Amino acid sequence: MKVNEGDLDWSMLDEGGTRIRRKKLGEAAGGDRLGCSLYELPAGERSWPYHYHTENEESIYVLDGRGRLRLGGESVSLEAGDYVALPADESGAHRVVNDSDGPLRYLMASTMDDPEVTVYPDSEKIGVFVGSPPGSEDERSVHGYY
């Protein structure tokens, strides 16, 4: 199914050091096994805490703006046209930071496999998702951070 991002409303996440706008393109288009979201990260803000997935591979494609990506313990620059593959293991650990003066817009695509365990190395926590993958709005039988 076709969807135009201009027809979708932004959702806003503002908690725990993360402030970001998101449009769930994959869900709106009826995607089942492949997710895709448009993100807009305001100047000076950060995305989700530094983490990696053990089941789902992700990727980032930068549409507009500049920023930095904490990737596998290193900091790399991001700019329009950059594409980054994020494997489903520790080497794919990531967090996007907008250290520029303008918004950073990027697409993030991911497989949508279930169950999933997400690892947060900085806080030494894990997230467990059973019944629907991370990013899904479907009901879960298990969803928690430990």
Within-domain flag for 120: no
d(CA 67, CA 41): 9
Within-domain flag for 66: yes
Asked if 109 and 98 touch (Cβ cutoff 8 Å), the reply is: no
Residue 125: partners with Cβ closer than 8 Å, 6 or more residues away: 145, 146
For 91-101, the pLDDT digits (tens) are 999 999 999 99
Within-domain flag for 135: no
- Quick one: which of 90, 108, 86 has its CA closest to 34? 108
Give the residue with greater pLDDT, 122 vs 17: 122
* pLDDT band per the 50, 70, 90 thresholds, residue 56: very high
Within-domain flag for 26: yes
For 113-146, the pLDDT digits (tens) are 999 999 999 999 999 989 887 777 788 888 889 9
Q: What's the predicted TM-score (pTM) here?
A: 0.92
Within-domain flag for 70: yes
pLDDT of residue 139: 87
pLDDT of residue 133: 76
CATH code, 87: 2.60.120.10
Using CB atoms within 10 Å of the CB of residue 69, give its burial: 0 to 12 exposed, 13 to 18 middle, 19+ buried.
Answer: buried
d(CA 34, CA 56): 10
| Dihedral angle, C-alpha 94, 49, 82, 112, nearest 10 ° | 80
Per the structure, the complete domain to which residue 108 belongs is given by 5-113
Give yes or no for a cis peptide into 115 (omega within 30° of 0): yes
Residue with tokens 């448009």, as numbered in its chain: 38
* Mean pLDDT on 66-78: 95
Q: What percent of the chain has pLDDT over 70?
A: 100
Within-domain flag for 140: no
Q: Is 3's pLDDT higher than 80?
A: yes
Structural domain count of the chain? 1
